């Protein structure tokens, strides 16, 4: 589970003014009610020269590895979009390909000319199951309700641990980008010294007879790859970025969030990672429990909001270095 809700959107008018407005409205609804940010992958724009099959294959691989696509939205009437053989693809055919490749993916199929009932009949003829058919005129409101249902399914207490762990992983990648940008701009001597420090940390627990050879091979890596080593923990990454805190030009709000990251997120991650599912004796509701600390369903919204605040903060820090 993530704090970003990603949509694979297939519409030849997605960049038009009205569709841009629709995307903004849907993103605001999602952010305001569920505290999630919305990310759109414009499949039609990427599918020139018959690349749709390649893009779908990429999505399948990403879903298998990180569940990064949450919803596919497909327009009934499309312009020029072709498969690898140069054959024109219709909206129904694209919806079918999504369903065949990703059996559990939620799909919205919509049109400004066909009624939802007509669209359902079209999907039935294509043997495509479990597709939400809606009218383009009510696209935002209908899609928002469907997204809410998708999130509600994910909002089970058993997925809270995954939400927290995945979010820390996302922030780790942001921190790596920050460190790479900082030391790439700092000059060769400072970057070399930092790489040597990171390398020494990685090999510190290795047998002495292995340290020299491993250190030599690690120093051949670029900084990003070095920081992605499995022995570099989330705590280590934060300590590294905390060391350069004075060079990040943080304002008061950003500083406050930065300074609370360890307690707000890393301690939360450590606690949730070792929590077990239990039942509240008072309410009978499921919860995660680690000693005296417990997380209940009503805590998810607040935790999600806190994680998003820290993600946005590290994103803004990164953008400030560009």
DSSP letters, 50-69, are: G-HHHHHHHHHHHHHHH---
Rounded Cα distance between 164 and 160, Å, is: 6
Both tokens of 316, joined, read 């803004």
Rounded Cα distance between 246 and 305, Å, is: 27
Rounded Cα distance between 110 and 93, Å, is: 13
Average pLDDT over residues 309-320: 93
Whats the size of the chain, residue-wise? Answer: 322
Strands 106-111 and 4-10: unpaired
Helix (H, G, I), strand (E, B) or coil at 106: strand
Rounded Cα distance between 89 and 83, Å, is: 7
Q: In which band, very low, low, confident or very high, does the pLDDT at 65 lie, cut at 50, 70 and 90? A: very low
Which of residues 13 and 35 earns the better pLDDT score?
A: 13
Residue 292's CB is within 10 A of a number of other CB atoms, namely 5
Residue 311's CB is within 10 A of a number of other CB atoms, namely 19
Model confidence pLDDT, tens digit, residues 176-207: 999 999 999 998 999 999 999 999 999 887 77
Residue 205's contacts (CB-CB under 8 Å, 6 or more residues apart) are 231
Q: In which band, very low, low, confident or very high, does the pLDDT at 46 lie, cut at 50, 70 and 90? A: confident
Helix (H, G, I), strand (E, B) or coil at 134: strand
- Residue pair 120/133 in contact (Cβ under 8 Å)? The answer is yes
Considering the chain, what percentage of its residues have pLDDT values greater than 90?
Answer: 50
User: Taking the complete model, does pTM exceed 0.75, yes or no?
Assistant: no
Q: In which band, very low, low, confident or very high, does the pLDDT at 49 lie, cut at 50, 70 and 90? A: low
Q: What letters, b where the CB count within 10 A reaches 16 and e where it falls short, cover 54-66?
A: ebbeebeeebeee
Both tokens of 61, joined, read 């691989």
Strands 4-10 and 131-135: unpaired
Torsion-angle region of 253 (φ positive above 0: left; ψ -120 to 50: alpha; else: beta): alpha
Say yes or no to pLDDT of 222 above 80.
Answer: yes
Rounded Cα distance between 134 and 116, Å, is: 5
Cα angle 146, 147, 148; round to 5? 90
Helix (H, G, I), strand (E, B) or coil at 19: helix
Residue 9 host element (H or E): strand 4-10
Both tokens of 140, joined, read 């935002």
Residue 171's CB is within 10 A of a number of other CB atoms, namely 23
């Amino acid at each position: 589970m993530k704090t970003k809700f990603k949509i694979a959107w297939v519409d030849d008018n997605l960049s038009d003014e009205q569709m841009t407005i629709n995307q903004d409205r849907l993103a605001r609804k999602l952010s305001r009610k569920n505290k999630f940010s919305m990310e759109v992958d414009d499949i039609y724009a990427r599918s020139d020269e018959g690349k749709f099959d390649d893009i779908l294959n990429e999505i399948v691989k990403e879903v298998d590895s990180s569940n990064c696509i949450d919803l596919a939205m497909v327009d009934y009437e499309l312009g020029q979009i072709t498969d690898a053989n140069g054959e024109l693809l219709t909206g129904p055919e694209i919806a079918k390909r999504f369903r065949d490749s990703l059996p559990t993916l939620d799909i919205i199929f919509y049109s400004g000319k066909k009624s939802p009932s007509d669209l359902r009949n079209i999907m039935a003829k294509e043997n495509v199951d479990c597709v939400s058919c809606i009218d383009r005129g009510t696209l935002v409101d209908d899609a928002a309700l469907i997204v809410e249902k998708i999130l509600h399914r994910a909002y089970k207490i058993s997925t809270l641990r995954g939400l927290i762990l995945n979010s820390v992983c996302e922030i780790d990648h942001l921190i790596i980008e920050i460190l790479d940008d900082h030391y790439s701009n700092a000059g060769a001597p400072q970057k070399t010294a930092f790489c040597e420090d990171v390398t020494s940390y990685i090999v510190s627990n290795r047998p002495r007879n292995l340290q020299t050879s491993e250190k030599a091979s690690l120093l051949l890596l670029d900084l990003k790859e070095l920081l992605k080593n499995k022995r570099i923990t989330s705590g280590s990454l934060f300590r590294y970025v905390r060391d350069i805190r004075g060079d990040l030009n943080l304002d008061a709000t950003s500083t406050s969030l930065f300074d609370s990251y360890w307690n707000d997120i890393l301690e939360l991650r450590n606690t949730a990672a070792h929590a077990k599912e239990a039942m509240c004796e008072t309410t009978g509701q499921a919860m995660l429990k680690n000693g005296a600390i417990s997380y209940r369903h009503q805590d998810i919204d607040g935790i999600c909001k806190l994680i998003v605040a820290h993600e946005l903060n590290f994103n803004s820090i990164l953008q400030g270095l560009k």
